[in-house]
Structure 1
Amino acid sequence: MLTGGPLDVLTGDYLAELTMLILGRDRLRNPDLGYAKTFLRQLEEGLGLAHERGVRIVANAGGLNPAGLADAVRALADKVGVPVRVAHVEGDDLMRLGAAEVPEVPEGPGEGLPAGASGEALAGAWAGALTANAYLGGAGITACLRAGADVVVTGRVTDAALVSGPAAWWFGWGPEEYDRLAGAVVAGHVLECGTQATGGNYAFFTAHDVRRPGFPLAEVWEDGSAVVTKHPGTGGVVSPGTVTAQLLYETQGARYLGPDVTARLDTVRLTPDGEDRVRISGTVGEPPPDTLKVGVTRVGGWRNEVVFVLTGLDVEAKAELVREQLADALAGAAGVSWTLARTDHADADTQETASALLRLVVRDPSPDRVGRELTGAAVELALASYPGFHVTAPPGPAQPYGVFTSALVPAASVPHTAVLPDGTRLRVGGGAGPGTAAPHDPRLPAGHGTASGADPLPGPGVEPAVPVAGGGGVGGSPAGPPRHDPTTRAPLGLLAGARSGDKGGDANIGVWVEGDAAWEWLRDTLTVEFLRRLLPETAPLAVTRHELPRLRALNFTVAGILGDGVASGHRFDPQAKALGEWLRARHVDIPTRLLPPTPEGNHP
């Protein structure tokens, strides 16, 4: 990024829900740690070049200890002889606050916390947690850059704040310039996962050379619009499709709530702007909610797993035999999960393709229950179970697993603090918005907003009475009777792209198409009920559907499919990364006129 072309600010996003758990365990072993050590190794290679070219560096690698990382950056700068001014942002770590400092929970609280709970009760809600961090906005980053910082490291800020904070500094935006801030937040959301915006993990990857995709960059303009592109000569592709895929990633509805602004994703327009250039414009911003999300991680207990290989005939009977033989050993465990993956093929010409996999996952508060007791019982079956008995790997010791939960706290009560290069501590705004219904904005798309087609959506921080757009949770469509066309039974993915991911224990699936006719069909066809039929694992769960017509996209939130989140290993795809690809692989009746004439997968 530093050598490939012009750059004003280089950002780095190091934090995820699982990362916070890992950093929490690091801090337990050494209180001076808790930050992403890889950042320092990368910075050693590029700090001199960044300083020479006047490039500011902004990264959330501070994790749980941004002050410690700032000190380490200063020490590194002295070591390599580069005179840089270092600042950091803190205040997100609520574990460091005493009960008297913990803010009271407002009305309409987060998960598991009663309205009006005291600071003591809220602190007790994460008693025993490894981490409890509020998601801050970009105001602290802006303040540090305005004070002349060359390097800014933060703790837990929103991923998009790494772009919106520098943009507000560069253009001198105020905290109420919501449209501009919303545009920068959308650009930040596109950049936050790096090469996912340039062809990485892209549904239609076969149409492009994505062997070594380059990193994306955003040319942000004073009005908040942006062009997403990449340095010349780098691999991958930037197209409306790659940008749409990332816009849909890990979002949960038309309103993208953030600490600085609420960005209306249903107002975003994407237009080609040349080769590997996509312009993002039209984003409408609204005031932010008066609360901040708090991510809480804790050790949930201990887990272990064994994968049995079942080869050849009688796979179901072999699986049942193993279950019965281990029943006594597993009787006292808190949680037992068996999954049989029928990866076997009839009359297979290799042993591996003749084999199915039976996965056992056991969880318990005690490491002993899922440690030696389990491994001993499994090993003892080696000569006393089904024919061809073997496992993919010897059973190992019990491993701790994590749990992620979230809550809401008042934004104005979280001590969002910029520590400037000269050591001055500057408390920045709380980002509190009205939390009430927003007035109608004539720039918003007419006829979109609620299941009934009324506009506007409920205000920031207010949950809608019904899911937004398209019949939402009941799976209906606002359109009239479907057009009766000749159809072809084919994978949904011949027509539609998808990208999926995790938010705590929930998963989201974004689905999009190209062209208005395909959008009309997708909108009318892919209801909640139909999604549940295509993905039977979602059938017993709450599913919410949102429409984003300007992106020709639907976004589904599947509640609870990931249990306690990625660190709990609840599902074999613990971050739901491939849930969208499963959906694309399901066969549906598609109007023949909509299907591309090119071979499967060779889609623009």
Structure 2
Amino acid sequence: MTSDGVFRIAAFSGYAGDRADALKNQAANSGCDVLFGDYLAEMNLATRALEMRKFPDLGYERPFLHHLKLAAPIIAKKRPKIITNAGALNPRGLAEEVFALLDKEGIDDLQVAYVEGDDLMPSLDELSSLGESFPHLEDARPLSSWRLKPASANAYVGARGIVAALKAGADIVISGRCTDASPVIAGAAWFHNWGWDQYDQLAGALLAGHCIECGAYITGGNSSGFRAIKDQYFNFSMGIAEINKDGTFVVTKQPGMNGVVTDVTVRSQILYEIQGNVYLNPDVQALIDDIRVSDLGRDRVRVDGVRGVAPPETTKVGICGVAGYQAECWVAATGLDIQEKFDVLRRQIHENLGDKMKEFDVFDMTQYGVPMENARTEAQGTAMLRVMAQAKDIEAFGPARHLLPLVNPDGLGHFPGFQWQMDSRTCVPVPFMEYWPARVHVKHLPLTVRFVGSIKKIPVPPVSPEETKPVVKQSDYDSPSFNAAKWGPTTRGPLGWVVHARSGDKGGNANVGFFVRHKDEFEWLRTLLSREKMVDLLADEYKGHRIERVEFPGMLAVHFVIHDYLGRGVSSTVRMDSLAKSVAEFLRARHVDVLNKFLVKSKI
């Protein structure tokens, strides 16, 4: 371990399908003794739950095994500790596969541990008898009011189980649905020997974990400033966090690989998928009102100003239920009269289905794209209509059990130039999951650490009520009134000429954070971006959504949460942008009056 008192941890995955060679590269070249891979998102649990209906022995993220095999020779030599939540719904199953893989690679002296306790399916009835109603995060409806039967239920647990495993000598720790940042909190808490009441330090580690949990996002991936590094926009390195004993940290990356770490990439990632100014975690509540981001140059960015208070008495539970069947297909129209062509198709579909349309919970027909005028190629002159259908019963899709006959009911009586997708696999109805984000009291969540090939068993007591604090209320306030006259000459154009943004999903909600490059631009941004202006920017996407707003002066940022933007959540949303990643770019492209004095400096 390092001798300067700084804990260094390198990320090697931001989702299950991330770069296969990242674990190998970080093990070989990062200089970090602890490596961390995040493999889970909300949709993973739904996908793995469907998988386990056919294959009960699976339910974990198999790509990790491939990543580990590639890295095995380096791991055998350098022996870093590895922490991952790739266990998903079956951490024991993955841990046993990891043990077998290492044995096959001739590595027989690494201890593989796994953490159990997040899976609540076996104990739902017992927990209900103890008073748990699993209220929905948005409106507190009890789980008993849900029309579906749970197929999986996983609590978002914290870092304590992983710390126990590390203290017991584990070299590789496999967890299930711990929070994305929990492995980083665990590594820092273990290294610095923090107590669970050192809230400022834990909160700093939470934000450090949030910064590097999404792989290449911290080094320029998904960045609205991508044009500045477009010549090296491939083969990204992943992030490294250097966490000090006081919880402040520096984000950096491997030298010699593509990507950058700047205040723009770090602010983008901090604003990604947050609830507001209070970042909740089972181990601590991080208060980020006063967070500061300082670019130190040379791919090094310092983050401080994070404060912490005791963790909340409840944590999130991701509950999935089989909601029915869904299918989708695409129809293309080219040239003139695009709207009229799609209107004809919509009428044909409605006329054909008649009362059977009521058998669908969703039958959505949304146009994507607008043809270029006087296009020089067919592709440039083409728009797409996405048809997406969901129904409780597969019989709704007709005797063919296929969406295409419903989408083209009149056969050759279609509009001129009709095209559809040649690969029709997505048109075959398949089961889909609906997501119920809920709460459960942490006092009911004991964890257990086990080691593969050993009878060793370490009980990890739950967080006691005495260790918790009521959830700190998220701030929600509007901007001062905007007086356009005081700012000077403007040019009408995209907000994104001078404003960065990042968006993502939080259950059925979407969050989006806007920020500027220069301090003199922030007062303009915070007064411009009121709730009313946000409604204006959303335009036809606004359907009466509740909108929360908060400011982060230390990041020159304004942040919004758009409630129910994704409907019932990622796994069942009608939107093609199911993870709400495109919301920020849509809003940046909306036109506002941009100050000329900002444009003189340069456009993003």
Q: CA separation in 2, counterparts of 1:307 and 1:495?
A: 35
8 A contact 1:27–1:33 mirrored in 2: yes
> Are residues 1:188 and 2:209 paired?
yes
Identify the residue that residue 424 of structure 1 maps to in structure 2.
456
8 A contact 1:494–1:596 mirrored in 2: no
Once the two structures are superposed, what CA deviation does each residue of 1:280-305 show, in whole Å capped at 9, x if it has no partner? Answer: 12211111100010011222211222
Q: CA separation in 2, counterparts of 1:144 and 1:130?
A: 29
- Report deviation, 1:74: 1.6
Q: Aligned to 1:267, what secondary structure does the other structure show? A: coil
Identify the residue that residue 384 of structure 1 maps to in structure 2.
413
Decide whether aligned partners of structure 1 residues 327 and 375 sit closer, same or farther in structure 2, where only a CA change above 3 A counts.
Answer: same
Choose 61-70 or 412-421, whichever is displaced more: 412-421
Q: Aligned to 1:328, what secondary structure does the other structure show? A: helix
8 A contact 1:411–1:431 mirrored in 2: yes
- Report deviation, 1:432: 4.8
Q: CA separation in 2, counterparts of 1:433 and 1:271?
A: 37
8 A contact 2:136–2:436 mirrored in 1: no
Q: CA separation in 1, counterparts of 2:491 and 2:483?
A: 22
Decide whether aligned partners of structure 1 residues 105 and 546 sit closer, same or farther in structure 2, where only a CA change above 3 A counts.
Answer: farther
8 A contact 1:532–1:539 mirrored in 2: no
Decide whether aligned partners of structure 1 residues 277 and 303 sit closer, same or farther in structure 2, where only a CA change above 3 A counts.
Answer: same
Identify the residue that residue 81 of structure 2 maps to in structure 1.
56
Q: CA separation in 1, counterparts of 2:407 and 2:363?
A: 14
Give ranges in structure 2 of 5+ residues lacking alignment.
Answer: 1-25
- Report deviation, 1:435: 9.7
- Report deviation, 1:479: 8.3
Out of 264, 270, 275, the residue aligned to residue 298 of structure 2 is 275
Identify the residue that residue 332 of structure 2 maps to in structure 1.
309
Q: CA separation in 2, counterparts of 1:486 and 1:539?
A: 33
| C-alpha RMSD of the superposition | 2.4
Out of 252, 266, 280, the residue aligned to residue 243 of structure 1 is 266
Identify the residue that residue 461 of structure 1 maps to in structure 2.
471
Identify the residue that residue 529 of structure 2 maps to in structure 1.
526
- Report deviation, 1:358: 2.2
Identity %: 37
Identify the residue that residue 346 of structure 1 maps to in structure 2.
373
Give the AA of the match of 1:225. T
Decide whether aligned partners of structure 1 residues 500 and 492 sit closer, same or farther in structure 2, where only a CA change above 3 A counts.
Answer: same
8 A contact 1:499–1:510 mirrored in 2: yes
> Are residues 1:408 and 2:418 paired?
no
Choose 492-501 or 373-382, whichever is displaced more: 373-382
| Aligned positions of 1:175-574 closer than 5 A | 175-208=196-229, 209-331=232-354, 332=356, 333-334=359-360, 335-370=362-397, 372=400, 374-393=403-422, 395=424, 396-420=427-451, 422-432=454-464, 460-461=470-471, 463=473, 468-471=475-478, 476-477=479-480, 483-536=486-539, 537-574=541-578
Give the AA of the match of 1:580. A
Once the two structures are superposed, what CA deviation does each residue of 1:94-116 show, in whole Å capped at 9, x if it has no partner? Answer: 0122512457456994348868x
Q: CA separation in 1, counterparts of 2:517 and 2:497?
A: 11
Q: CA separation in 1, counterparts of 2:298 and 2:179?
A: 30
Q: CA separation in 2, counterparts of 1:248 and 1:381?
A: 48
- Report deviation, 1:223: 1.0
Choose 420-429 or 272-281, whichever is displaced more: 420-429
Provide TM-score, normalisation by structure 1: 0.88
Once the two structures are superposed, what CA deviation does each residue of 1:77-127 show, in whole Å capped at 9, x if it has no partner? Answer: 221121101111110000122512457456994348868x7xxx76x9696
Q: CA separation in 2, counterparts of 1:154 and 1:485?
A: 55
Out of 181, 195, 214, the residue aligned to residue 160 of structure 1 is 181
Q: CA separation in 2, counterparts of 1:364 and 1:414?
A: 35
Decide whether aligned partners of structure 1 residues 347 and 250 sit closer, same or farther in structure 2, where only a CA change above 3 A counts.
Answer: same
- Report deviation, 1:337: 1.3
Give ranges in structure 1 of 5+ residues lacking alignment.
Answer: 437-458
Q: CA separation in 1, counterparts of 2:467 and 2:134?
A: 10
Question: How many matched pairs?
Answer: 566
8 A contact 1:287–1:433 mirrored in 2: no
> Are residues 1:15 and 2:40 paired?
yes
8 A contact 1:257–1:460 mirrored in 2: no
- Report deviation, 1:517: 1.5
